[in-house]
Amino acid sequence: MVEAKAQIFRLDQEIQRVHSGHHKIPVVDQCEALSRAQRLLFKERLEHIEQDKRYRHELLPLEIKEVTVKATAQGLITKIPFPTNYYRDMGIRIVVTKRGCKSKEISLTKMDTGDKAKGLDSPFWQSSYAWGQIFGDEGVDGFYIYNGPDLKAEGMIIDYYRTLPDVHCPSKVNPPEKYIDWNGKEHKDDAGWILDELADPGINLAAMILTRGLGDPRDFQLQTNKAAQTEQISKL
């Protein structure tokens, strides 16, 4: 993790380089821009992670492994809630039981919501202890697992990407002024930039976000080109 102070120092330098003499941008605004930049880079990497495995290394700080979550409601369909900091799964094994047999783990096969009828009615799409297959769907509040005639889902073991925390730097605010973020919440502890490998492109992107309305429009284009070049270099 890169400390928030370090990222803001470098961001200040980048902004002054392009817009020398411009008034200092408030710390909370810089933190909001850094947070937004980190989210954009995270989502872009995640979107293409299957095409470029190098992206996974950049996102390693957000990987959470082997988390067990118990089911909260059972019936024809079993509901299993998301972990509290869940963003996207990397792989899920469902813990299932069958009367007279020991529990076992089966990799979840996801189905589209429109295929729900198949999962409940068709014998070829039914979850089965004997065949080692289990089907389910993802909802807004968790996973919905289709139980079969010979099994019941008890919970899951999940690998996932956690949500990305925002960058905050209240230590840069001089008392009696308080650090109030863009959601109106006061913070007293710094929270740094999580994705170390993306700190450089993050600085360029945050500077672009903060200064796109300032000065000569050509400065914005120069920053855009620099951010793109930094992205390409980081992929080499």
Q: Comparing C-alpha atoms, which of 112, 200, 106 is closest to residue 151?
A: 106
Residues with Cβ within 8 Å of 24's Cβ and at least 6 positions away in sequence, in order, are 12
The Cα–Cα gap between 169 and 30 comes to 9
Domain locations in the chain as residue ranges:
4-59+164-234, 63-162
DSSP collapsed to 3 states, the chain? CECHHHHHHHHHHHHHHHCCCCCCCCHHHHHHHHHHHHHHHHHHHHHCCCCCCHHHHHCHHHEEEEEEEECCECCCEEEEECCCCEEEEEEEEEEEEECCEEEEEEEEEECCHHHHHHHHHCCCCCCECCCCEEEEEECCCEEEEECECCEEEEEEEEEEEECCCCCECHHHCCCCCCCECCCCCECCCCECECCHHHHHHHHHHHHHHHHCCCCCHHHHHHHHHHHHHHHHHHCC
Reported pTM? 0.83
The Cα–Cα gap between 217 and 18 comes to 11
Name the one residue in this structure whose structure tokens are 């529990």: 103
Q: How is the beta sheet containing 101-110 ordered, strand by strand?
A: 63-70, 152-162, 86-98, 101-110, 134-138, 142-146, 77-81
pLDDT (tens digit, 0 to 9) for every residue of the chain, 236 residues total?
A: 999 999 999 999 988 887 666 678 999 999 999 999 999 999 999 999 988 888 999 999 999 999 999 999 888 899 999 999 999 999 999 999 999 899 999 999 998 766 665 555 666 778 999 999 999 999 999 999 999 888 999 999 999 999 999 999 999 999 999 999 999 999 999 999 999 999 999 999 999 999 876 654 455 455 555 555 555 544 54
The Cα–Cα gap between 236 and 144 comes to 41
Q: Cis bond leading into 176, ω under 30°?
A: yes
